Structures are given as structure tokens and as C-alpha cells.
Amino acid sequence: MAFRFDLQAVDGRARYGKISTLHGEFETPIFMPVGTRATIKGVTSQHLRDMKAKIILGNTYHLTLRPGDELIRDVGGLHRFMDWQQPILTDSGGFQIFSLGHLRRLTDEGAVFKSHLDGTLLELTPEKAVKIQENLGSDIAMVLDECPSANSTDEEIQIAVNRTILWAKRSLQSQRSGTQSLFAIVQGGMNLKYRQFCAEELVKLDFPGYALGGFSVGESPEQMHALLPECASMLPELKPRYLMGVGRPIDLLEAVDAGIDMFDCVMPTRNGRNGMAFTNRGIVRLRNSMHQREMLAIQSDCSCYCCQTTSRAYIHHLLHCDEMLGGILVSLHNLHFYLELMQECREAIREQRFQQFRQQCLAQWALAV
């Protein structure tokens, strides 16, 4: 069997499990570094292995534009192409239907994009999204979906939910790979009625795993945190639950508390490139002048390469000189911080002390740096 999920411990709603794929096994809850274009920006595959990352994410839309999914297939697949022999999840391009709304035309058949690179047209249907991901050779593929914005009307949400269900059915029918697992995506905006309907229809189709899409698209963090427990409970207990594109450390912690298993977000590297570091005492903004002469590490008790070798003063200097190394170093620290946070969540769930751990984190992050 190419895919297996074993739920091994529960502490309140928080869950500890193991997922097995063709390219290896990983424990949940898990954070997946985002490698949109077959790279986590500024970070090598060896860096990822050193910080014990177990699964990463790539993107269908961007990789089919450049270098092309058929090229990646012909050179041996995405794992070989980017020197990563552990599990990979690929997004379907559904988020680009949301984020590149000004560059696409949308119907029940699919989306037609005007490439942001050269203006050529790219048609993305549920069937084509599956085919592209099979060419990429990822272990977990996502169905194409429509993500409504947080301020969508009920009519717009209903159209997006119906289209998402239709596309999920077509995605299943078009799947040919025997080694790639296809996850469905529950949409419905901030409306629990539509979320429930979408989840029920997708669960009938018996996918190996389920994602919650359409969060962190304009709603407040408080709205998201309030909805997540009920949305997670709509999904099968014995299948993995994936919250797409979220987010800050506090969001991950609250989502684990709600019963979510898998996460991805560009925030560790995007914020890292801008000099923002996540620490166990909150956020450190390394561009600030207060760090100009500070020879301590970003986080004194952190074991990442950045904190073991580099001072805040040096990173501050690099950032103000626009040297790429500054953003790389902070990105390495941030990814390590996120992966360590998930490791600590897993240990706390196994040891039945997750609420104690959660409260400790929230109290520490509230402190000023």
C-alpha cells in the first residue's frame, strides 16, 4: 500500500499519528516547508535534511509553467529533480485560482490563466491538475478546488462549494497513478452550513485524506480559531486532516488543539527574508537598530545552524546591506523553529500534556522581545 495513516494517540482533540508513503514515513502533527518552484527559497535539500524535515510541498501551477511537468517527469520526477528522496505533497493550483483572479477565467470546466511570466494561456482542469501532479511524481496530490474569499456572499460560496465537489469527483475519475494519494479539499468560507455540506459530500467519495482550504484568506485569526474545531470534526477520524496555507506559530498551535494533522505556509521563509524571526519569546525584528551591536544569537537555546554560528548584529548588517545570506540565515532559523514546535507538539500529545504545553507556549509568546 502506497499510503497509510495510523492514529496512535489523542489528547483532547489534539492527535498524534504516522503517515506512510512510497518515499517514507513521517509523524503528525507535521509542518511542511513550502517549495513552490521545486525549492524552499534560499534553503538546500541538505539544510532540510539536517533540520529533520520529513515532507515538503511543491506547486502544480508554478511547476507546469516553469520548467514544465513533462520535463520533470522525463528527468525522473520531482524527488530526483530537487534531490529530495522523502515525501512530497503538491498543491493543485487551486490557490492560484484565488490569488491570481485578475489573470484567469473560471467556469465549471476549469480555469484558464494568462501566465504571469509571458502572458501565454494555461488551462487548468481537474483532470489536467491530476495529470500534472502524476508527472511530478509527488506522494500526495491535491484535487483542484475553488477557494472563495472571506467576504464572499452566500451565493458565491455555494457556487464555489458545488464546483469544488464536482471537481473532486472528476479528479478521482481521472486518477491513474497507483502510488500517488489524492486528497480532497473542503471549502465553504466562514459558513459552517456550507462547510458541513462540502465535507459530507467529499467524505462519501472516500479520499485517503482531507484538507481544509479557504482559511487565512481575509478572515481574522479569531474567526479561524473559532471555526477550526468544528470544521476538523467534520472530517473522518481515521484519515489525515490538513489545514492549507496556515500560518503563524500560534495558528498552528491552535489548529493542533482543534484536531489538525498537517500544515504548510510560506511564512517562515517569506518573513525570514524580511528579517523577521520567530522565537520561543515571540517575534524578533532583526532590521531594528536595537540589534546593531547585539552579539547574541536570535534564540539562545536554539540548536539551528544560524543560532549556533551567527549573531543578531551580523544578520542585522547583512539585511541592511541587502546581502542574500541574511534572509537565508533567518529562514533557516524559522524553519527549524516551526519543525521543533511540531516535534514538541507530538511529544506533548504522546505524553498527554498537550494543554500544559500549549498554555506554556502562549504565555511565552506573549512576552515582549
Query: Which residues are designated catalytic?
Result: 91, 264
DSSP letter assigned to residue 93: S
How many whole angstroms separate alpha carbon 93 and alpha carbon 70? 17
Cα–Cα–Cα angle for 140, 266, 368, nearest 5°? 135
Cell numbers found for residue 359: 498554555
Which residues, 6+ apart, have CB-to-CB distance to 339 below 8 Å? 31, 51, 52, 53
**DSSP conformation letters of 235-304:** S-TTS-EEETTB--HHHHHHHHHHT--EEEESHHHHHHHTTEEEEBTEEEETTSGGGTT--S-SSTT--S
Which strand (E) or helix (H) includes residue 82? none
20: alpha, beta or left? (left if phi > 0; alpha if psi -120 to 50): beta
Which residues, 6+ apart, have CB-to-CB distance to 283 below 8 Å? 276, 277, 369
Which residues, 6+ apart, have CB-to-CB distance to 271 below 8 Å? 277, 278, 330, 334
